[in-house]
Structure 1
Amino acid sequence: DDNSDDEIPTQQAIQESLQDMHKNETSANATEDESFQFVASKERGMIIAAIRTVKYKYTALSLCPRNHFGQEEVLKKLVNHSSAFEEADQQGWLPVHEAASQLNMNILEITFKASRAATWEQTTLKGETPLLVAVRNCFVENVRFLLFNGCNPNVKNEEGDSPLVVAIKYNSYEIATLLINSGAKVNLQCVHKRTALHEAARLGRKDLVKLLLRSGADPDPRSGYGLTPLALAAQAGHTEIMELLLQKGADVLSQAMDCSSVLFEAAGGGNPDSLSLLLEYGADANVPKHSGHLPIHRAAYRGHFLALKNLVPVTNFDAIKESGISPIHSAAAGAHPQCLEFLLKSGFDANFMLDQRIRKGYDDRRKSALYFAVSNGDICSAQLLLNAGALPNQDPINCLQIALRMGNYELMNLLLRHGANVNYFCRVNTTHFPSALQYALKDEVMLRMLMNYGYDVHRCFDCPRGNTSHSQYVTDGWTSTVIKDT
């Protein structure tokens, strides 16, 4: 009969499970402090094996799993070993945690009833209760059973997540509903003071956002960084969720601790519909974050062309001037020629220079948008800027010097054709002759290019000491090149 067919493979599976457990425990112990060694009792090993074991039967071709149910009858015979149900492994897992991670709810029920009440809320080393284990595995019936039997729905794991937040992360509407109906606090502050609504909004879980709002969730809580669910939804461009939150009273003008507005977060996300919605609800495009950057800067830097088109008409030039940086700089820094071209056609000045306050943030004290394009090796953006009248000789370190150092012939030629000073002098490692030669001494193509554009060759043969004799060691301006220009 079926039972006799199953007996041998079942015992074999239990034995294999016990052997695997022993191997894992031995391996884990090797990394623990030598003064402590976990030794599982024989009874605990049998309990875990019974919980984990898959029931097998023979077919004509092979040994195949009949189903994924643990050995209920075997487990029932072990319930009298109560102390074994309180033994945790190196990871802090009790038999009840193991049972919560199995799909068979009957196994969980047997294990749960055999365990003392004190173990029902005991946590693993990762801070997981049996309920959190079941939620993480999305085992609805296990969650239902544990909640029905009084397990706490508000215990957080090691990462600071509640069961409700975990359910949202795994997109389980049914489990989230069970938790809320069983007393889960919808406004419970978790890691970084975020609530379940923060997580649902961030992940774009529209149905879960609706569930939380219906269940009394605060529509506009602030995290530890001052971010609201609306701001997190804006970051990811979840427009429908943003509208739900705004309809419930979320503040469109709220700012995070770094003063970044919701519109600034939306500009980073780049969804033009999200930006339009915020502007419709009264968002201000001229509110800077603490660094001075505006939403238009962020959209330009990240290359969000459609978002940029929405922001240009509502951004004031005075606000840009006050920020000390043009969106032209941002588009060039991010290497986004399409955005750069649009901004230039919209009337932004190709020669807007960084404010002194902003320049201090760069070791090379750069000023122009052209410098950003050249330092990126972005020929397309450099061409757009030069065609729009960008001046190539405005930065402390000449743009041509950057192109020479990179060995980029096309960029060098482009700059020289638009008036780059071939006879510039470097401020560091100064030479008696124009500095560009330092990069061309071993490159004939580069040298010819410099000569063709008017390099002052005569300075190379002009000794500042004249014809008088001088020490061979006094060679200022004529030493071997050691370039330390940036």
Structure 2
Amino acid sequence: MSGHPLHQACMENDFVKVQELLHCKPSLLLEKDLDGRIPLHWSVSFQAHEITSFLISKMEDVNLDDYPDESGWTPFHIACSVGNLDVVKSLYDRPIKPDLNKVTNQGVTCLHLAVGKKWFEVSKFLIDNGASVRIKDKFNQIPLHRAASVGSLRLIELLCDVGKSPVNWADKQGWTPIFHALAEGNGDAAVLLVEKYNAEYDLVDNKGVKAEDVALNEQVKTFFLNNV
């Protein structure tokens, strides 16, 4: 990270160096590197928690939504992807709160990211504070598609019970969440979606194929059909 010593210090978790650099040149706090990232992006990404707390203490008047990187990720997006709830809370519980529904260049929200990594507590925090379960990314997938893909029954229940997520929304290839569950071998997730949330399993995708026919293998397909 030549030419960006504060960014480098954040990556190396060098708290003393961070303090020295900001003392000498406070403007480094919001300096962007070649990826469009400010130092906070990197301290969050590298889980340098002491540095993150220190940087945040100097950013009370800063709106994190104003600092997306070249991919549209703010430090808050990164925090939700990394999955440390304390860091997520520290970035949220500030005078200027980040927009929980702000999307990246790929149309991805913080909830998409947390769900995709199976971060239940972070996902619950986001939903409890008003994050939408209905925002589609560039593939027209909502967070429930991701929960089904990773096979998390707890996240499926959270999204559907607390978030009131739609269960039959189709993505760009015509796949509803149960297609993704079966394709990844998560038969129990597919059964849960049908039995508890009335997901329709006779729907066909853009190629005219049913969810059961994209199952990872015959075992998953048989388990699904025997339980719905």
TM-score by length of 1: 0.43
1:207 aligns with 2:86: yes
1:164 aligns with 2:40: yes
Cα gap change, 1:292/1:322 in structure 2, threshold over 3 Å: closer, same or farther? closer
Q: Which amino acid aligns with 2:104?
A: S
**What is the aligned partner in structure 1 of residue 214 from structure 2?**
330
1:148 aligns with 2:40: no
Counterparts of 1:245 and 1:346, CA distance in 2: 32
**Residues 180, 186 of structure 1: 8 Å contact kept:** no
Aligned residue among 69, 73, 79 for 1:190 = 69
**Residues 160, 190 of structure 1: 8 Å contact kept:** yes
Q: Which amino acid aligns with 1:218?
A: D
**Residues 305, 338 of structure 1: 8 Å contact kept:** no
Tell me the CA shift for residue 266 of structure 1: 1.4
CA RMSD of aligned residues (A): 1.8
Counterparts of 1:153 and 1:185, CA distance in 2: 13
**Residues 131, 151 of structure 1: 8 Å contact kept:** no
Tell me the CA shift for residue 308 of structure 1: 1.9
Tell me the CA shift for residue 322 of structure 1: 6.1
Secondary structure of the residue aligned to 2:29 is coil
Tell me the CA shift for residue 317 of structure 1: 4.1
Tell me the CA shift for residue 147 of structure 1: 1.6
Tell me the CA shift for residue 321 of structure 1: 3.5
Cα gap change, 1:177/1:186 in structure 2, threshold over 3 Å: closer, same or farther? farther
**What is the aligned partner in structure 2 of residue 305 from structure 1?**
187
Residue-pair matches, total: 218
Secondary structure of the residue aligned to 1:268 is helix
**Residues 230, 242 of structure 1: 8 Å contact kept:** yes
**Residues 200, 209 of structure 1: 8 Å contact kept:** yes
Tell me the CA shift for residue 198 of structure 1: 1.0
Moved more, 202-211 or 159-168: 159-168
1:389-408 alignment, distance < 5 Å: none
Question: Which of 1 and 2 has higher RCO (CA within 8 Å, sep 6+)?
Answer: 2
**What is the aligned partner in structure 1 of residue 14 from structure 2?**
139
Cα gap change, 1:154/1:257 in structure 2, threshold over 3 Å: closer, same or farther? same
Cα gap change, 1:338/1:276 in structure 2, threshold over 3 Å: closer, same or farther? farther
**Residues 35, 70 of structure 2: 8 Å contact kept:** yes
Runs of at least 5 residues in structure 1 that lack an aligned partner in the other structure:
1-122, 348-486
Counterparts of 1:274 and 1:148, CA distance in 2: 44
Tell me the CA shift for residue 181 of structure 1: 1.8
- How big is each residue's C-alpha offset from its partner over 1:241-281, in whole Å with a ceiling of 9 and x where there is no partner? 01101111111111112211111121122211111100112
**What is the aligned partner in structure 2 of residue 251 from structure 1?**
132
Runs of at least 5 residues in structure 2 that lack an aligned partner in the other structure:
none
Cα gap change, 1:169/1:322 in structure 2, threshold over 3 Å: closer, same or farther? closer
Tell me the CA shift for residue 154 of structure 1: 1.9
**Residues 173, 205 of structure 2: 8 Å contact kept:** no
**What is the aligned partner in structure 2 of residue 260 from structure 1?**
141
- How big is each residue's C-alpha offset from its partner over 1:121-150, in whole Å with a ceiling of 9 and x where there is no partner? xx72xxx51111111110111111212222
Aligned residue among 218, 226, 239 for 2:120 = 239
**Residues 43, 49 of structure 2: 8 Å contact kept:** yes
Secondary structure of the residue aligned to 2:106 is coil
- How big is each residue's C-alpha offset from its partner over 1:275-332, in whole Å with a ceiling of 9 and x where there is no partner? 11001121011000011011101110111233222212221246x146522122111x
1:289 aligns with 2:181: no
1:424-439 alignment, distance < 5 Å: none
Secondary structure of the residue aligned to 1:192 is coil
**Residues 147, 182 of structure 1: 8 Å contact kept:** no
Q: Which amino acid aligns with 2:119?
A: H
Secondary structure of the residue aligned to 1:199 is helix
1:343 aligns with 2:227: no
Cα gap change, 1:269/1:156 in structure 2, threshold over 3 Å: closer, same or farther? farther
Counterparts of 1:317 and 1:214, CA distance in 2: 41
Q: Which amino acid aligns with 2:212?
A: I
**What is the aligned partner in structure 2 of residue 29 from structure 1?**
none
Tell me the CA shift for residue 203 of structure 1: 1.6
Counterparts of 2:178 and 2:225, CA distance in 1: 14
Secondary structure of the residue aligned to 1:164 is helix
Counterparts of 2:131 and 2:226, CA distance in 1: 36
Counterparts of 1:306 and 1:167, CA distance in 2: 38
Q: Which amino acid aligns with 1:135?
A: C
**What is the aligned partner in structure 1 of residue 159 from structure 2?**
278
Secondary structure of the residue aligned to 1:283 is coil
**Residues 168, 176 of structure 1: 8 Å contact kept:** yes
Counterparts of 1:322 and 1:306, CA distance in 2: 21
Tell me the CA shift for residue 346 of structure 1: 3.6
Counterparts of 2:23 and 2:75, CA distance in 1: 22
Q: Which amino acid aligns with 2:101?
A: D
Q: Which amino acid aligns with 1:140?
A: F
Tell me the CA shift for residue 344 of structure 1: 2.0
**What is the aligned partner in structure 2 of residue 316 from structure 1?**
200
